[in-house]
Amino acid sequence: MSAPLLWIIFPLVVSAVLWFLKERRQLVILLSAGLCLFLAFLAWRVPIDSLITMGPISFNISSTLSFLGRSFILASNNSAFLILIYLIGAFWLIGASVADVPNTFAPLGLALISLLVAALAVQPFLYAALLIEVAVLLSIPMLVPLGETAGQGVIRYLIFQTLALPFILLAGWAAAGVEANPTDQRLLIQAVVLLGLGFTFWLAVFPFYAWVPLLAGEAHPYVAGFVLSLLPTVVLLLMLDFLNAFAWLRAYPLLPEVLQLVGSLMVITGGIWSAFQWDLSRLFGYAVIIESGFSLLALSLGNQAGLQVFAASFLPRMLALGLWALSLSIIGKQGSANFNSLEGLLHRQPFTAVGFLLAYFSLGGLPLLAGFPMREILLEGVAQKNLMVAFWTLLGSIGFLASGFRILAVLAKSSEKTWQIQEKWMQIVLLTGGGLALFLVGIYPRIFLSGVLNLLRAFQRLV
């Protein structure tokens, strides 16, 4: 048996089987979430490339699966990534049970996760672009369920993600040329530019991010949240993989400056636009943009602290985005996510409103919440390199937070004297659990975030 067979092919096959059972939505969601938890547990407990003895039986899980002359490799140093990605999958799938998602969500979501794992496992890297494109195409039926018309956000998402494919494939060709002839400056510039453009489209980097808030505003909030949180996470890890693999890319003198400029522009513009936004779903899109910007800023530091912030930010980000998407799904059942229709929500759906606010302020970097510790370290690091960039980035964060306080005022404004609890008990359990997790990670960051740092073991040339 091989690790790619277990963590890529097996969930892919299960997702295909679950597709035919999709009418039994709750069962399919539970099975998918259970499988993700099981695979995360296996990634934690089962060693790869070592002999495993269970009584009289002994076997070995090899790290490599060969396919048409190419390899999928999941070595022991990828365990942390496998745990993270399948825990993220389980987290989103468990929440889906109360989020009223379309029937296609669980089977396609599981297939999406296994394809993205395949994208990180495939060698040579350039094949990752093809696998990510397949994942993007597969996500379209999730985002546009039968009976609905595709909006501009979905269409633009499809266009921009597809445009990344040629650039990454051409970058792969140019990169092979640079490896063969490292002194060829023309080829080096060509490879860096092509790679940069590919990642720009994938990560919805400034100025190609207009589709993100549009998509978040059009699609089911939970489905959009799943796609918009999973895809950038994998693309960011892929970016780290590229940096780890190519010495010429790591040594490229302009890389830190470009990452810093692009990252700070995303945070600043995202923060400013969000201050003028009146729709909670679209605000989610801006939150995703700002988070991608902070990740690029962390990479721009080019040191150990930056890498640790980059890796450790995944957990609080995922918790907050998940809680936000779940709250939006519950709000969406009652009506629009526009500010005007949310007055007094705190009195009608207190758990949803508080869950949403905690998620929002955690992403905004408010003290005591999960997002704060990493944000503080990151801003300190950026300030040591360039005070102006730190100032503007802080300004972007303030813009985002200002919108949060505006939302707080709207949600709390009510003429009703009585309080109601309109949420179902399972929704209350998940919302409360998510909110508490944000507090716990914020108060005890060392305990919860140190495990995520194992992600960096897969990128040994960077550490």
In the complex, which residues of this chain contact other proteins (CB under 8 A)? 22-23, 25, 67-70, 102-103, 127, 130-131, 133-134, 137, 140-141, 144-150, 152, 155, 158-159, 162-163, 165-166, 169-170, 173, 186, 190
Instruction: Output 172 or 293, the one with its CB closest to other proteins.
Output: 172
Q: Closest distance between other proteins and the C-beta of residue 168, in Å?
A: 11
Q: Closest distance between other proteins and the C-beta of residue 151, in Å?
A: 10
Q: How many residues does the chain have?
A: 463
Q: Encode burial over 391-415: b for 16+ CB neighbours within 10 A, e otherwise.
A: ebbbebbebbbbbbeebbebbeeee
Q: Closest distance between other proteins and the C-beta of residue 93, in Å?
A: 18
Instruction: Output 62 or 71, the one with its CB closest to other proteins.
Output: 71
Q: Closest distance between other proteins and the C-beta of residue 375, in Å?
A: 37
Instruction: Output 51 or 146, the one with its CB closest to other proteins.
Output: 146
Instruction: Output 187 or 410, the one with its CB closest to other proteins.
Output: 187
Instruction: Output 26 or 338, the one with its CB closest to other proteins.
Output: 26
Q: Closest distance between other proteins and the C-beta of residue 48, in Å?
A: 24
Q: Closest distance between other proteins and the C-beta of residue 166, in Å?
A: 4
Q: Closest distance between other proteins and the C-beta of residue 254, in Å?
A: 19
- Give the separation between CA 135 and CA 232, rounded to whole angstroms: 13
Instruction: Output 169 or 326, the one with its CB closest to other proteins.
Output: 169
Instruction: Output 112 or 353, the one with its CB closest to other proteins.
Output: 112
Instruction: Output 70 or 424, the one with its CB closest to other proteins.
Output: 70
- Give the separation between CA 250 and CA 252, rounded to whole angstroms: 6
Q: Closest distance between other proteins and the C-beta of residue 15, in Å?
A: 16
